Structure 1
Amino acid sequence: MSPAQPLSYSAVLGKAQSSDAKPAPPTHRQEKSSHPPQPPRHIQTSNSPSTNEQSATDRYRPKAGGENEARYVLTLQTDRAHHDRMTALREKYFPPERNTVRAHLTLFNALPESKLDSSVVPLLKAVAAEMGPFKIRVKRPYKMAGGFLVNLSPKDGPPPMNKLVDRLRNTWNEEGFLSDQDAAKRSVHYTLMNKVTDKQKVDEAYDEFTSTWNGDEGIVDGLELWKYAKGRWYWAQRFDFTGPPYIDMRPSHVGYERV
């Protein structure tokens, strides 16, 4: 797989799927993930990390490849209107000095580069050829210590999404290279606020948000793969769903625009 070029989340919108396609020149600054595969709080700061620190770090490390091997993030690709609405909310609440990536729904945080050609990309191509676009609804807010998110849990997710995630996770679990974090079932969500140390500010923002929030729906029409390196996301590849759409899963508006 050719080296990825740095791109903003929106710079690749509308780009056709191609494993060999070169991304267009970036139109925005490089993006820094708010959810890195290995969170900064677990970075070793001494030559003798504690057992707890080492255990936490290991949870985010894939079970294949070397410690310095590049990792890839897999996200859902949604229609433009939904994506823009969720990004606007993130831009409203996320600390601006830390908000360098647009709204995203992450499925896997740390796919090892050494497994891309043999396992990851072939399965994503096969899944994309079979899957059709389907509807999602994000609704349930959840407050964290430093912010809040809106959740689409596996329990509440539409059947097509649950089927998709289970197939990817089960296949890669059998091959044994997923990190402990990626191997476990967990929520799919948008993080709208994070890394805020002022509890009162978090409480006020959460109360403001929940007073008017009634959920949002959109169309998932593909997957996107991003290279994660030194805290930044670099767009790598897009996998459009080309199977029959799940008509009963479409939102109330008839038309939608691919991102």
Structure 2
Amino acid sequence: MADAPLILTLGFDGASFAHLDAQRRRHFPPERNLIPAHLTLFHHLPGEKEPEIAATLRALTRDAAPIPLTVAGLRFLGRGCAYDIEAPRLVALRRDLAIRWQADLTPQDAQGFRPHVTVQNKVPAAEARATFETLRAEFSPFEATGTDLLLWHYRGGPWDAAGKFPFGGV
């Protein structure tokens, strides 16, 4: 279905992705864990505008350097937890895209952006709190790299790849 909504995420360097995805596989309810660890930039872009969105992303990433990230801490979500990401360049890039796509944004995508990678969600609050405390006790901040922008089709289940846009053409 050509008009399936699009999701835009940030891709990570291999080692960082492996760590974040292992934590997600460990803590996310298996029956709900249909996609790998990810950092969502936009949750619902118009599928019918895929060609122009892809062209924008291709032009944007072609000459841009990979984005430095700091996995800075943990965030308690009430029924889950996430790693907080500090990345001024990513925040600026996302803001610029939000301005460009303003007319097409859902209320969720039009609100503020707080970069994070969810590793647990939709569990009982007590389980979420226990996971948060365990992860927090063993956590040390670490550096990661955003290597590309990833575009996905959302059709109700696992996401289908729609495009990969590496920074610097890497």
TM-score (norm 1): 0.62
Partner AA of 2:119 in structure 1 = L
8 Å CA contact 1:127, 1:164 repeated in 2 = no
Specify the alignment match of 1:122 in structure 2.
55
Q: After superposition, where does 1:134-173 map in structure 2 within 5 Å?
A: 134-152=67-85, 156-158=86-88, 160-173=89-102
**In proportion to residue count, which structure has more helix?**
2
Specify the alignment match of 1:248 in structure 2.
none
The 2-side partners of 1:90 and 1:178 are apart by 28
Specify the alignment match of 2:39 in structure 1.
105
Matched, 1:213 2:139: yes
* Equivalent residue pairs, number: 170
Q: CA deviation at 1:205?
A: 1.5
SS of structure 1 residue aligned to 2:105: coil
The 1-side partners of 2:9 and 2:81 are apart by 19
Identity %: 31
Q: CA deviation at 1:209?
A: 0.9
Q: After superposition, where does 1:62-101 map in structure 2 within 5 Å?
A: 69-101=3-35
C-alpha distance 137-83 of structure 1, shift in aligned 2 (>3 A): same
Post-superposition Cα deviations, 1:83-128, rounded to whole Å, max 9, x if no partner, equal 000011111111122222111001001011122223x112111101
Q: After superposition, where does 1:1-259 map in structure 2 within 5 Å?
A: 69-118=3-52, 120-152=53-85, 156-158=86-88, 160-173=89-102, 176-197=103-124, 199-242=125-168
Deviation >3 Å, runs of 4+ = none
Structure 1, unaligned runs of 5 or more: 5-68, 244-257
Partner AA of 1:238 in structure 2 = K
SS of structure 2 residue aligned to 1:115: helix
RMSD: 1.8
8 Å CA contact 2:73, 2:139 repeated in 1 = no
SS of structure 1 residue aligned to 2:159: strand
> RCO greater where, 1 or 2, for CA within 8 Å and sep 6 or more?
2
Partner AA of 1:187 in structure 2 = R
Structure 2, unaligned runs of 5 or more: none
The 2-side partners of 1:162 and 1:147 are apart by 23
Q: Which has the larger radius of gyration?
A: 1
8 Å CA contact 2:54, 2:163 repeated in 1 = no
The 2-side partners of 1:204 and 1:234 are apart by 33
Q: CA deviation at 1:163?
A: 2.6
The 1-side partners of 2:146 and 2:67 are apart by 5
